[in-house]
Amino acid sequence: MTTTIPNTASPLALSEIEAIRTLFPILSTTVNGHGLVYLDSGATSQRPESVIQAESDYARRANSAVHRGAHTLAAEATDLFEQARERVAAFIGADEREIVWTSGATGALNLLAYSIGNASAGLGGAEADRFRLQAGDEIVVTEAEHHANLIPWQQLAARTGATLRFIPVDDDGILDLDAASAVIGDRTRIVAFAHVSNVTGAIAPVDALRTLAHRVGALVVLDACQSVPHLPIDVAALDVDFLVFSGHKMLGPNGIGVLYGRRELLDALPPFLTGGSMIETVTMEDATFLPSPQRFEAGTQPVSQAIALAAAVDVLTGVGMDRIHATEAAYGARLASGLVAIPGVRLVGPRPGTERVGLASFDLAGVHAHDVGQFLDDQGIAVRVGHHCAQPLHRRLGLTATTRASAYLYTTDAEIDAFLDATSRVAAFFGAER
């Protein structure tokens, strides 16, 4: 079962996609004598010229330490840095004080897990009591999680004595909601799961899982790495407690990510990283910390990256997330139906006709995923191969690796056709035809 996201917007027309493609310098690249067909945006998206330019312009004209200097350049850098926060916050319907800059979604999840661990160790005072874990408490994840939303919680459970439990998936890799009702119980303190699976493309039933979690007073942590770039997101409507995403998956640069948290929760959570910029007062014996977001932003910040991420948000907003979602839903449907029509292909995730984002992973009988990827690369088609940082899910499905194609706003129907045609020829090339 997935959560249907109502969308009456029309998909992007070919003329619009062609205009969008002109914004991305790399899309004119040739690979192995073929025009690049980039179907690996689920790993890292490409950057438009405006994003590249935003980072370059900052370095050329305004580079300085933020929140520290009193000179004109420092003030300008600080203004640009905080304006970027406002724009990114508005993109997901948050208040700018609820947006914490991190190194990426992995950094955001580790920040959150370690901060909760600090509360569990007695830091943060009475206001941090709501976060404290102890033996007998439970942290719930799913069997489909990316390692970045699994290992930090494994480690937190080990440090606090809490028990880590998981919601299983079925043979297609879809979450078992009946099992979720049994797993999430009175001892559950945290429920962490991906909004969209980076392997199956399935959209999680956020409303149902959030309701189960909040009913027992558990915090909800949403890994939105594969949803913020592709779906219209409103954190107020999602009603989750924390949410993370990465810049490099949404037209932005590497080295920047976001932790969203309800302001009252962030202000009560003790910091993980400490040092300059996040303090209120310091003595030789003690320190007090600024409110969020500054209390989580110790040290030199990723200023140019934040500014470039805001530029990426401007591009996505200009196109319209509802139309991007409509376009990619159509691509997801075409990928699913096209792949299952190829002999020997096992599609992972929702069956054709069931909602998914523009992403599909598959196994081809008799051919290792790395060989599939190499064959496609020879045709100029870039896809992802491997376990996609989701070994437990692949193990549950009886697979060691899959091939994943993921589309974005700059993908065309012709590129989907080229991918499906090339994939249909892989088995014969390797002598694995049935």
Catalytically active residues are 389
> Token pair for residue 228?
């913020």
DSSP 39: -
Q: How far is CA 25 from CA 22, 53, 91, 279, 410, in A?
A: 7, 12, 25, 42, 12
Nearest to 352 by CA among 269, 281, 420, 410: 420
Length of the chain in residues, anyone?
Answer: 434
CA–CA dist 42, 248 (Å, integer): 10
Q: Which helix (H) or strand (E) holds 335?
A: helix 321-340
List, edge to edge, every strand of the sheet that includes 402-406.
Answer: 345-348, 359-364, 402-406, 384-386
Helix (H) or strand (E) holding 363: strand 359-364
Residues 266 and 100 sit within 8 Å (Cβ to Cβ): yes
